Structure 1
Amino acid sequence: MDYANNDGQDIASICLLAGKIILQNGGETYRVEDTMVRIAEAYGVANAYSYVTPTGIIFALDGAAQSTRLVRISERSTNLKKVTLVNDISRRICQGSLQRHEAYKQLQDIEQAKDDYPAWLKVLVAAVASGCFLIMFRGSWNDFLPVALASGIGFLCLLTLHRIMPITFFASFLSAVISGSLAVLMVWLGIGHNLDKIIIGSIMPLVPGLHITNAVRDLMAGHLVSGLSKGAEAFLIAFAIGAGIAFVLSVYP
């Protein structure tokens, strides 16, 4: 089936923008491919093909001239609110209640929106969550404040280092060193008591939980390349965290 050139380009642009937003903000690979194909089908394209990896998207409409497009993904973060908004737009498109120009405009608004949570709120949540992990691991309430301080400062360093250096491995390593050093310092000062539980709780916000989850889900969905690459990334981050704590414990026995 042949599509008018402008129609094909418009549909491809909508599909690629939707997939790009999902992939950049923590969505799974199979979700990206499924969303793009469903949008194309809703706009009358029976045969659409997509190939997605964590660093790029290839999309083509069967029968449309010059329809094959490539988008490079260089930055990825976690913002599941944007993923949810794109999923909502996709459902409305499939229901036939959203025209092409309206869908593209709304997707652009989502991509450009600066609705990320402020750094102070992320640090506060990370600190409280670490304290809760401490209690879950049968730690003492007396160590709640030390683990919250160590985690909060370490997570703040992670956010700062991510802006300075794009290499996640080194940012995770240095953040783990800072959290571990603060945990050792507070135990040495007598503020904290159980060093093991404090260290475990303080590094929990650094653990790549979303990467691991997405890797497993992609592997289960048959996306072996994406699943293995995300799993390798999660392993490197986990290794960096472990290396940072091992460094601290070797320096401060």
Structure 2
Amino acid sequence: MDRNELLDTCLLAGRIMIEGGSEMYRVEDTMTRILNNAGENDAVIFSTPTGIFASIRNQPYMQLRQINVRDIDMERIARVNQLSREFAEKKLTLSELHTRLANLDNNIPYFPMWMQIVGAAVLSALLMVVFTQQYDWFDIPLAGVTGAIGFAVAVYIRRVTNIKFVSELTGSLALALCAMLGVRLGLGHNLDNILIGAVMPLVPGVAITNSIRDLLAGHLLTGIARGMEAILTASAIGFGIAVVISMG
């Protein structure tokens, strides 16, 4: 077996999982299983949010990959895990596993944009009721609309700029403006309740959860880095809403 191809396949799987927002201990576990199932039981793996390393102990084989993009995509993580299981069950050869992973990396599965916006609207409306415990049917439609607008603005800004946290800031500005305008036009009653629901699609809940899980698993560097990233994202969201409210 070509050990360079094995390490390349292992690192490709790890990079896809990290870019999809997986916990670091899950990434290392999947990479280790791929190496073990290929017959290499003496591998060394080190992973961070910005780069992963893999080598075979006492052998002149070592590779690393840089991580430039990090998002939340559970489907990519699930597909990598499924391919890893098929490789463990000998349903795939190493070359087939590498090809399938490369296809997954180049053809990222996404729901249509309109469906994501509708999902953001439904999420905003429902979570407004959950968190506020107020069944104000007059505010529910406005919460859904403002949440969808904020999410759409954040996605668009994320596509046109590589600066982190700008998309969350502009998205929160947009939804806060829409919520305040809607209340002033008489389309809603309680601005606070509407904002609580509308901001939920932007909140980094998965990032916060994964940072805590990484800390508990002993990945202190990754847990702290992801925790700070989540805190900065939440701060950008709060800053955008605070600016609009203070101006109003």
Category of TM-score, reference length = shorter chain? over 0.9
State the Cα distance separating 1:176 from its structure 2 match: 0.7
State the Cα distance separating 1:201 from its structure 2 match: 0.6
Taking structure 1 as the reference length, the TM-score comes to 0.94
CA-to-aligned-CA distance 1:218-244 (integer Å, 9 cap, x gap): 111100000000000000000111111
For structure 1, the residue ranges without an aligned partner over 5 or more in a row are 1-5
State the Cα distance separating 1:168 from its structure 2 match: 2.7
Taking structure 2 as the reference length, the TM-score comes to 0.96
Mapped to 1, the partners of 2:91 and 2:177 lie a distance apart of: 55
For structure 2, the residue ranges without an aligned partner over 5 or more in a row are none
Query: Do residues 104 (structure 1) and 60 (structure 2) align?
Result: no
Query: Do residues 170 (structure 1) and 166 (structure 2) align?
Result: yes
* % identical aligned pairs: 37
| Alpha carbons 1:27, 1:83 under 8 Å: kept | yes
State the Cα distance separating 1:25 from its structure 2 match: 1.0
State the Cα distance separating 1:95 from its structure 2 match: 2.6
CA RMSD of aligned residues (A): 1.2
Identify which of 8, 11, 14 aligns with 2:6.
Answer: 11
Instruction: Name the count of aligned residue pairs.
Output: 246
Q: 1:119 and 1:235, CA in 2 relative to 1: closer, same or farther beyond 3 A?
A: same
| Alpha carbons 1:8, 1:64 under 8 Å: kept | no
Mapped to 2, the partners of 1:47 and 1:97 lie a distance apart of: 23
Query: Do residues 245 (structure 1) and 245 (structure 2) align?
Result: no
1:44 corresponds to: 39
Query: Counterparts of 1:205-224 in structure 2 under 5 Å?
Result: 205-224=201-220
Identify which of 152, 176, 180 aligns with 2:176.
Answer: 180
Query: Counterparts of 1:84-99 in structure 2 under 5 Å?
Result: 84-99=78-93
SS in 2 for 1:69: strand
Query: Do residues 79 (structure 1) and 73 (structure 2) align?
Result: yes
| Residue identity matched to 2:82 | D
| Residue identity matched to 2:196 | I
Worse-superposed segment, 86-95 or 194-203: 86-95
State the Cα distance separating 1:133 from its structure 2 match: 0.8
| Alpha carbons 1:135, 1:141 under 8 Å: kept | no
Q: Please identify runs of 4+ aligned residues in structure 1 that moved more than 4 A.
A: none
State the Cα distance separating 1:141 from its structure 2 match: 1.2
